[in-house]
Structure 1
Amino acid sequence: MNKHLRSSDYLLFNVENRVARITLNRPDKRNALHPALLAELRDALLEADDRNDVNVVILEGAGKDFCAGYDLAGAYAGFKDGTPPWDESRYRTINKSVDDDCWNMEQTQKLNMVLFDMHKPVIAKVQGNCLAGGTDLALMCDFIICAENAKIGFPAARANGTPPIQMWMYHVGPQWAKRMMMTGDNLWGHEAVRIGLVLDAVPVEQLDDAVNELARRISFVDAELLSSHKRIINAALELQGARTLQRFAVEMDARAHLSQGPRRTQFKADMAEMGLKDALRKRDEPYGDGMVKAHWLNGEKGAE
């Protein structure tokens, strides 16, 4: 019996040869996130971190995508019909006030921060879409290996908010972080590796082998030494303000959620009138295919 992960509706968990494999298992929803899934993920990560037969963790998504973001189409609250089994008037409500929104997002952020705080290293295996909340997960991992044709970005930054987990700055520096946030454009995997957003990008048919080989090599190092390596480097990130920045990111995202700017106001009206799919299409239409087109990247072969 597992000590931390009692049961799981949304994940697969397996341990073999000192490697724990945690799989987001909502392929029909493109592995979209909601609080129940994130709570299970926290439990699975703690299970892997606590076990003596695990030295390294692989985090992946079932099906075609790593994770397409948060489930905005009804399951965001983590309940099957979208309605919690308690009196909502007695509790904080998202978007009711800046502080209420901050409080709620901080609870979600704590679930993601387990990736940063746990002692054992985590490799994100990214294929297909890694968007919005999916990047919150991937960029908190210690390594990202992606398919060359993976699509990585935060398109919600165009109208809906700013990343509540802000690790873009630490991966790519200020100019590229601003470039990605201020357009909401996406990068192909083969471009993401060139700006340092990911460790490596390989043809999709080679992705399993590349991730498994890195995990295999890491797994031969004792867990105590791996912990020393991870914790000293993450301490350096903290000295650069990484943890403080996460709190500030939540506060700025809450402020953005209450914005009455025309783009956000229009998106909320479109959601009410047309539904999520058409609201997203209308939001993103001015950006064409929504992909980064930096001159020095354009000379590379596009993703197929």
Structure 2
Amino acid sequence: MSDFQSIAYATDGRIATITLNRPDRFNAIDDHMPGEIARAVAKADADPDVHVILVRGAGPGFCGGYDLVDYAEAKGAVSGSQDMPWDPTLDFAMMWKNTQDFMSLWRARKPTIACVHGAAIAGGSDIALCCDFLIMTEDARIGYPPARVWGVPTPSMWVYRLGAQAAKRMMMTGDVITGREAQAMGLALSAPPEDAFEGEIGKLVGRLQGVPRNQLMMTKMVVNQAYENMGLNSTQMMATFFDGVSRHSPEGIWFRERAQEVGFKQAVVERDSGDPIATQVSKRG
């Protein structure tokens, strides 16, 4: 639709579909996408015919995260990476808005389903995990590799969906897991083979769309309130602040300098190689 740049929005009967629509960049998150997701959720919430909201990715995958090729390789101050001295309040304001835009999927009055094929990486996993349900193809991948250096998942949904031990494993290692592994951990509701993916989504949608909208809203609010009572909002505030810190720590600054020197993809290979980041930082001198 003409009123969206980075997503597409469509309805079919009782289903609204939000499609992350930058397939040439693996649907990487740009400056437009978070706010457009929130606007599309509001549009679906206001539509009396819609009972279920699907979130999909155009092209070969769901979402590869923030468009860090631009953000990490660019010279000078850019969104999310300031020249020193760093002002954490500016960083927090930007990322907090993005976090709340993604959380519109969690707080929508109607159930939201992330339909993940290909991969949901870094910020893409944030979008997927803010949905009520996660269905992945068995070989799709999900994870937050920037947790190794240069990022903290601001919605912090890993802990609320997995519990402490598994969340620490995912957030401390930056591991990327398959749909099969995600289902075994209880992260994904199901992870069928690719040829059964649409059928699996259809089964859940079929069960949900026959429920009155008021019932869906009430039952969702009850579950969500339990998590709000556990301190979800304050956890996200801390995570959003630390996300900014991670991009301006000595290791975070090294990572961006390395991305500018050898390119973002090579910097990621080095970050994820297992070579201690402290050693890499010491090499700067």
TM over 0.5: yes
Check conservation: 2:53, 2:111, Cα contact below 8 A. Answer: yes
- Structure 2 residue 86 is the aligned partner of structure 1 residue 107: no
Q: Map 1:106-255 onto structure 2 (within 5 A).
A: 106-255=96-245
Structure 1 residue 35: Cα displacement: 2.2
Measure, in 2, the Cα distance between the counterparts of 1:16 and 1:225.
Answer: 21
Higher share in helix: 2
Consecutive unaligned residues of structure 2, counting only runs of 5 or more, are 276-285
Structure 1 residue 14: Cα displacement: 1.5
Check conservation: 2:125, 2:143, Cα contact below 8 A. Answer: yes
Aligned equivalent of 1:70: 66
TM-score after normalising by structure 2: 0.89
Measure, in 1, the Cα distance between the counterparts of 2:116 and 2:80.
Answer: 33
One-letter code aligned to 1:283: R
| SS of the residue 1:145 aligns to | strand
- Structure 2 residue 258 is the aligned partner of structure 1 residue 276: no
* Comparing 98-107 and 131-140, the one that deviates more: 98-107
TM-score after normalising by structure 1: 0.84
| SS of the residue 2:274 aligns to | helix
Percentage of matched positions with identical amino acids? 37
One-letter code aligned to 1:243: N
- Structure 2 residue 47 is the aligned partner of structure 1 residue 39: no
| SS of the residue 1:130 aligns to | strand
Structure 1 residue 269: Cα displacement: 2.0
Check conservation: 1:157, 1:182, Cα contact below 8 A. Answer: yes
One-letter code aligned to 2:260: A
Measure, in 2, the Cα distance between the counterparts of 1:101 and 1:231.
Answer: 30
C-alpha change, 1:93 and 1:133, in structure 2 (3 Å) is closer
| SS of the residue 2:191 aligns to | strand
Structure 1 residue 94: Cα displacement: 4.7
| SS of the residue 1:286 aligns to | coil
One-letter code aligned to 2:273: E
One-letter code aligned to 2:195: E
Consecutive unaligned residues of structure 1, counting only runs of 5 or more, are 288-304
Structure 1 residue 258: Cα displacement: 1.9
